[in-house]
Homo-oligomer: A and B are copies of this chain.
Amino acid sequence: MGNPCGPLAAQVLICCALMLVVSHQVAPAPSPPAPVTRRSFTWDVEYIMWAPDCQQSVMIGINGKFPGPTITANAGDLIRVEVTNSLHTEGLVIHWHGIKQIGTPWADGTASISQCPINSGENFTYEFVADKPGTFFYHGHFGMQRAAGLYGSLIVNGMDRQKEPFAGEYNGELSMLLSDWYHENVYAQSAGLDGKDKHWQWVGEPQTILINGRGQFGCSLGITRDRRACDRRKKDALCQEGDKSERCELIRRSECGPFCEGSQCSPVVFDVEPGKTYRLRIASTTSLSALNVQIQGHKLTVVEADGNFVEPFVVDDIDIYSGESYSVLLKADQRPSSYWISVGVRGRRPKTQPALAILKYTNSKPDSWPAGMPPETPAWDNVTRSKEFTYRIKAREKTARPPTTVDRRLTMLNTQNMFKGHIKWAINHVTLSLPATPYLGAYFYGIEAIAFDSSTESPDTYDRTYDIQKPPDGQAPAAKVPTTVSDRVFKIAHGAVVDVVLQNANALEAGVSESHPWHLHGHDFWVLGYGDGVYEHGRDSKALNTESPPLRNTVVLFPHGWTVLRYVADNPGVWAFHCHIEPHLHLGMGVIFAEGMEKLRELNVPREAITCGEAKTATLPLAPAMAPPPPP
């Protein structure tokens, strides 16, 4: 199964052409077209027993490993991934986070939205164009499969790397995919989140932060908190049973670490040559945690955010929310030695130890731990510091500017609510529940009426008497709008310019408002501004940045504040826009944009992607030979 090559090849060309226009390069000669590079992968997705933090768990792995293989491509390449689902009872989909899926909305990998789950035993081929360079990743987008380990890196280089901004300023690349890991499996996590009243159980904080899929539970390398636990662990898990190598024997006798060569949880070591500069790509696919990254004794120059170059600025550390990615330039300008890389939790009272990795100069002493203590993560509740970092991100010159005329304004109140004894997150008092039939299939087959609630659209805004400083139950009677659960969508006309105001509010507990990283599928958007309190059009819109707003696909909404973004609905498809925190999305924190559906029939949607749920019977007439016999 897969997409026929012909139409896609055409799309590749259109897409490449678009990309070239954006990057102000010369359009290709009309003939012959440049050959498209196809990068093909064959993936078997299966349960594996793995010890990502030195404790064995069942995880979702790809080709027998965790994390999944890194995809590296050039912009304009056609990426083809043939996925076989070898999970025994679970369906799966894979979302290519940051790829716009221009002309291939069915390849966005969002269950219930862009496609049917790939059932156990089935295979499905994703085929799409890497539409632009950037630091991306991929992950499961069905239930909480991302949190079960289904993810990996996706790096897209420029078609001509030497012409990329900053290309001359670095000598090599390093890559860091950040995630968090729970010892409780996702089935139990979701059962807890779904629980009613006193049966509700919050998943809590993750046990371990992982760097490129590796962490060390209960023992941060040299810095042991619980020596006995660590000793037990070393004996049990770090060295494969029967490995009698000198190194393993040493480990069995020693403090935490060093780790076996073959260990699944040995710390990541980034090798650098003294004096050289590196582009360090950092992406976060955490389930919950907002993170902070620091490198002992080194400054970082931020140059890319979510696949878009930004005006460079220098920092000691970066905050990164789930769904975001950055490139920073890192100069190996210190005394040749080893240095700690420390990744700690921000925004929530940290119960998870910081993850550590090692930056190692090539000519430094082998196997030595860095000297001194790892850099300390900034105070978890210092939101001002997070805002300062975020506000510094501006588009690099020559980045396309947003249109100045807006066709549609959406204001989205983010609240935490009770619904029939269940805790939910809601947007304008509506909590998202996804249908069994993917929206894309419902529109393609014209069965919206039976596939989801298409009688009305999602609400464009909220009642402004709502007091965002108070919990939902502390509202004045008029603002106490009941929460509803719905699979309604926003219908967005093709080509419309859309402004979205994300308006944060107080959660259920008084005095609490959380940060939410919102991620948009199918698009980059311009981040026009942030602010505290209630956004007021007129007053606040005047101060928005329309000169150098950064393009991104994920943006943070700060506690009790607002964020405004703008995008152009130029990519027909059904696109999710949601909080990238896995349990928040599970509890309904998202909306659906059904965009340019009037153009959908012009696309060659593969039927295997969209034939499930109501689409199995509603629209596909049996061939005469298949029809059941007439009743006797």
A residues at B contact (CB < 8 Å): 1, 6-7, 46-49, 57-58, 88-92, 111-112, 116-117, 119-122, 142-145, 185, 187-188, 190-192, 194-195, 199, 201, 434-436, 444-446, 586, 601-602, 604-605, 607-608, 611-613, 616-617, 619-623, 625-626, 628-629, 631
Question: A407 vs B450: C-alpha distance in the bound complex, in angstroms?
Answer: 50
Whether B616 pairs with A629 at a CB distance below 8 angstroms is: no
Question: A47 vs B628: C-alpha distance in the bound complex, in angstroms?
Answer: 37
Whether A201 pairs with B607 at a CB distance below 8 angstroms is: no
Smallest Cβ-Cβ distance to A144: which chain B residue: B88
Smallest Cβ-Cβ distance to A60: which chain B residue: B187
CB-CB under 8 A for A49 and B436, given A88-B144, A119-B119: no
Whether A631 pairs with B7 at a CB distance below 8 angstroms is: yes
Question: A111 vs B435: C-alpha distance in the bound complex, in angstroms?
Answer: 22
Whether A49 pairs with B191 at a CB distance below 8 angstroms is: yes
CB-CB under 8 A for A626 and B190, given A49-B201, A88-B143, A143-B89: no
Question: A444 vs B620: C-alpha distance in the bound complex, in angstroms?
Answer: 16
Partner of A47, one of B48, B88, B116, B187: B187
Whether B121 pairs with A49 at a CB distance below 8 angstroms is: no
**A356 → chain B closest CB, angstroms:** 28
Whether B190 pairs with A88 at a CB distance below 8 angstroms is: yes
Inter-chain contacts of A6 with B (CB < 8 A) = 631
Whether B191 pairs with A612 at a CB distance below 8 angstroms is: no
17 sampled A-B residue pairs with Cβ under 8 A: A46-B191, A46-B194, A49-B199, A89-B142, A89-B143, A89-B145, A111-B120, A119-B613, A121-B436, A121-B613, A122-B436, A185-B185, A605-B628, A607-B616, A608-B616, A620-B620, A620-B621
Inter-chain contacts of A623 with B (CB < 8 A) = 619-621
Partner of A192, one of B49, B434, B605: B49
Question: A611 vs B120: C-alpha distance in the bound complex, in angstroms?
Answer: 14
Inter-chain contacts of A611 with B (CB < 8 A) = 611, 616-617, 620
Smallest Cβ-Cβ distance to A192: which chain B residue: B49
Question: A296 vs B191: C-alpha distance in the bound complex, in angstroms?
Answer: 40
Inter-chain contacts of A144 with B (CB < 8 A) = 88-89
Whether B47 pairs with A188 at a CB distance below 8 angstroms is: yes
**A578 → chain B closest CB, angstroms:** 15
Whether B190 pairs with A47 at a CB distance below 8 angstroms is: yes
Question: A435 vs B162: C-alpha distance in the bound complex, in angstroms?
Answer: 49
Whether A119 pairs with B622 at a CB distance below 8 angstroms is: no
Inter-chain contacts of A446 with B (CB < 8 A) = 625-626
Inter-chain contacts of A47 with B (CB < 8 A) = 187-188, 190-191, 194
**A449 → chain B closest CB, angstroms:** 16
Whether A49 pairs with B629 at a CB distance below 8 angstroms is: no
Whether A49 pairs with B89 at a CB distance below 8 angstroms is: no
Whether B613 pairs with A617 at a CB distance below 8 angstroms is: no
**A621 → chain B closest CB, angstroms:** 6
Whether A626 pairs with B445 at a CB distance below 8 angstroms is: yes
CB-CB under 8 A for A601 and B613, given A48-B191, A194-B47: no
- Quick one: which of A58, A111, A187, A586 has the most chain B CB within 10 A? A187
A120-B143, A612-B616 are known; give 12 further A-B pairs, CB within 8 A: A1-B617, A47-B191, A58-B187, A58-B191, A112-B121, A117-B120, A121-B435, A445-B626, A601-B629, A607-B616, A611-B617, A621-B621
Question: A616 vs B617: C-alpha distance in the bound complex, in angstroms?
Answer: 10
Q: What are the 8 A-B residue pairs with the smallest beta carbon separation, nearest first?
A: A88-B143, A121-B436, A89-B143, A58-B188, A47-B191, A611-B616, A620-B620, A89-B90
Partner of A622, one of B88, B111, B620: B620
Inter-chain contacts of A621 with B (CB < 8 A) = 620-621, 623
Inter-chain contacts of A58 with B (CB < 8 A) = 185, 187-188, 191
